[in-house]
Amino acid sequence: MNENSSFAEIAEVFKNHQSFAVVSHVRPDGDAIGSILALGHSLELMGKSVRYLNNDGCPESLKFLPGSEKVEVSSEAKDVEIEVVITLDTAAHARVGEGSLKAIKDAKLIVNIDHHMSNPGYGDLNYIDSESPATGQILYDLITALEMPFSDITRDSIYVAVSTDTGSFQYPGTTQRTYEMAADLVARGLNVGKINSATYDNSPYRRVELMRALLNTLDRSDDGRLVWWDLRQETKDELGLVDDDTEGMIDFIRAVQGVVVAVFFEDLDEGKVRVSMRSKDRRVNASEVCGTFGGGGHALAAGIRMSGPIEEARPKVLAEIRSAMEKAGL
159-204 tens-digit pLDDT: 999 999 999 998 888 999 999 999 999 999 999 999 999 999 999 9
How much is the CA Rg of the chain, to the nearest whole Å?
A: 19
Q: In this predicted structure, what is the pLDDT of residue 270?
A: 87
Return the pLDDT at 313: 96
Is the pLDDT confidence value at 45 over 90? yes
Mean pLDDT within 83-95: 96
Domain boundaries, the chain: 7-200, 207-327
Does domain 207-327 sit in CATH 3.10.310.30? yes
Q: What confidence tens digit (pLDDT) does each residue in 109-145 have? A: 999 999 998 899 999 999 999 999 999 999 999 999 9
The pLDDT value recorded for residue 3 is: 80
Same fold: 7-200 with 207-327: no
**pLDDT at residue 144 in the model:** 98
Q: How confident is the model at residue 310 (pLDDT cuts 50, 70, 90)?
A: very high
pLDDT average, residue stretch 266-273: 92
Provide the b/e sequence for 173-197 (b: ≥16 CB within 10 Å). bbeeebeebbeebeeeebeeeebee
pLDDT score recorded for residue 201:
92
Domain 7-200 top-level CATH class: alpha beta
Task: Note the pLDDT of residue 127.
Answer: 98
> For residue 1, is pLDDT > 60?
no
Q: What is the pLDDT of residue 126?
A: 98
What mean pLDDT is predicted for residues 282-294?
Answer: 95
In this prediction, residue 269 has a pLDDT band, given cuts at 50, 70 and 90, of confident
Predicted local distance difference test score (pLDDT) of residue 248: 87
**Contact between 228 and 265 (Cβ < 8 Å):** yes
pLDDT average, residue stretch 16-21: 98
Round the average pLDDT of the chain to a whole number and report it: 95
Q: What does the pLDDT read at residue 2?
A: 62
Please state whether the peptide bond connecting residue 133 to the residue before it is cis, i.e. omega within 30 degrees of 0.
Answer: no
For residue 160, the surrounding DSSP H or E stretch is helix 152-165
Q: Taking the model in full, what pTM does it have? A: 0.89
Within 8 A by CB and 6+ apart from 201, the residues are none
| Whether pLDDT at 273 is above 70 | yes
- Positive or negative torsion for Cα 136, 191, 250, 27: negative
State how far the Cα of 1 lies from the Cα of 138, in Å rounded to an integer: 18
